Structure 1
Amino acid sequence: MSRASTRHAIFFDLDGTLSDPFEGIASCYRHALTQLSRPVPAATELATFIGPPLRQGFATLLATSDQVLVEQAVTLYRERYATHGAFENRLYDEVPEMLRALNDGTRRLYVATAKARVFAERIIEHFGLSAHFAHVYGPELDGRFENKADLLAHALEREGLDPASCVMIGDRAQDVRAARQNGLVPVGVSYGYGSKEELLEAGAVVICSSPRELASWIRSEGPR
């Protein structure tokens, strides 16, 4: 598909950027680890696994490279997540107002998340945000596009977008690195689960402390 350089676009991470998913994600990690008779870390440690891919998180928590065990853990996690965890979640304050401000006809909005696409779509719909987004991009359940750089490359190609006219917004280093690898403008938010130091080290061009500040920066400083 040919690139359409005049089409400006914003890609939003979901967890830690649009919504705070801690309760649901932590409860599902606890469920899977308990079912496997493995130690359950404290809440502060579980919070560090919000953002990275699920399989990567379990490989670390289980201290294993055994993919069969990792897939078993993912299955147990998703058993609870599908029925309860996805909705143990809340939008950050100012997010609906931010999306309305940015969805003004001059740019298109997308979600690009490490969360499985089928769950991300359900969450966006649950919060009544579907009308704001042209498409929700996330990994398939089998792990395809689990790497965020690959996910963004896929989205750019599918949408025919010029990366230089696009922004990627997220709260973790992998969001910033994926944006840089694909030529998007990388923007960090400090109200999620990544630190300012993490985001700056990864190469964020700016770090916003609230959705309102983020909307203001994009409208005044974002790609034209």
Structure 2
Amino acid sequence: MSTHIFFDLDGTLTDSKPGIIRSVEHALNFFHMHVPSEQLIPFIGPPLRDSFAPFFDNDAARVDLAIQKYREYYNVKGIFENSLYDGIADLLRELQGQGRRLCVATSKPEPFARRVLEHFRINGFFSLVAGAELHGARNNKTDVLRYACAQWGIEDMRSCLMVGDRKYDVQGAHAVGMACAGVLYGYGSREELAEARADYLCATVPDLRRLLLGEL
């Protein structure tokens, strides 16, 4: 049973699709680019720079401007066009009650992650929030997890479990030597998570609860 649990945010704790998609659309509209919203779902999970780069032929200046325009909408509206998955708050409460140490490990910039957690009043369940840096080098899941483990002084990854919905969560977890539970209620497909070799697959929040509480 894992004593240290690292949760992704978007697609794992919260259903953030509406706000993220509208923020991407706001950015692309600035460049007179119109893409069907369903084709923008891959933006949920990886760093924004990686997602915008193919739209602008890796032109760093235009990618930077696209990120600026994305945040122009996200900071005001998009961040709250979001909802907590049913059962998540109760699960976090149970885990905290068992003495587990909980961390949010996200590629979202850390200040935004904190605002989301505070908005849904679940920030008190987490003893650590680790996210990307707005203007720094820490911007992918591997670097975020390394940072989080360093903050907690963890060296033995056998006590740790990452929970996320995309291949980036699995790859980041495995890169630092920890197992990963992939959740299928988020934005990654079963095929994506299986190909990334997620150690566990949970179709629903109740399935995740049974895994984390040792009831499987």
TM norm structure 1 = 0.92
Q: Distance in 2 between matches of 1:143 and 1:22?
A: 25
Pair 1:158-2:151 in alignment: yes
Runs ≥4 in structure 1, deviation > 3 angstroms?
Answer: none
**Which residue number in structure 2 is paired with residue 176 of structure 1?**
170
Selected match of 1:32 from 27, 30, 33: 27
Give, in angstroms, the shift of residue 79 of structure 1.
1.0
Per-residue CA distance 1:86-111 (angstroms, 9 max, x = gap): 00000111111111121124310000
SS of match in other structure, 1:30: helix
Work out the number of aligned pairs and report it: 215
Map 1:56-75; keep pairs closer than 5 Å: 56-60=50-54, 62-75=55-68
Per-residue CA distance 1:193-224 (angstroms, 9 max, x = gap): 000111111111111111221121112179xx
Per-residue CA distance 1:132-179 (angstroms, 9 max, x = gap): 001111111114211211110111111112321100000000100110
Pair 1:116-2:105 in alignment: no
AA aligned opposite 1:24: G
Q: Distance in 2 between matches of 1:113 and 1:97?
A: 21
Give, in angstroms, the shift of residue 40 of structure 1.
2.1
Q: Distance in 2 between matches of 1:211 and 1:98?
A: 8
C-alpha RMSD of the superposition: 1.6
**Which residue number in structure 1 is paired with residue 121 of structure 2?**
128
Q: Distance in 2 between matches of 1:9 and 1:221?
A: 17
AA aligned opposite 1:169: V
Q: Distance in 1 between matches of 2:136 and 2:78?
A: 19
Structure 1, unmatched stretches of 5+, are: 1-6
**Which residue number in structure 1 is paired with residue 198 of structure 2?**
204
SS of match in other structure, 1:145: coil
**Which residue number in structure 1 is paired with residue 212 of structure 2?**
218
**Which residue number in structure 2 is paired with residue 140 of structure 1?**
133
Pair 1:19-2:3 in alignment: no
SS of match in other structure, 2:162: strand
Q: Distance in 2 between matches of 1:143 and 1:89?
A: 26
**Which residue number in structure 2 is paired with residue 167 of structure 1?**
161
**Which residue number in structure 2 is paired with residue 4 of structure 1?**
none
Query: Which segment is superposed worse, 68-77 or 95-104?
Result: 95-104
Q: Distance in 2 between matches of 1:70 and 1:200?
A: 31
Alpha carbons 1:102, 1:215 under 8 Å: kept: no
**Which residue number in structure 2 is paired with residue 3 of structure 1?**
none
Alpha carbons 1:189, 1:208 under 8 Å: kept: yes
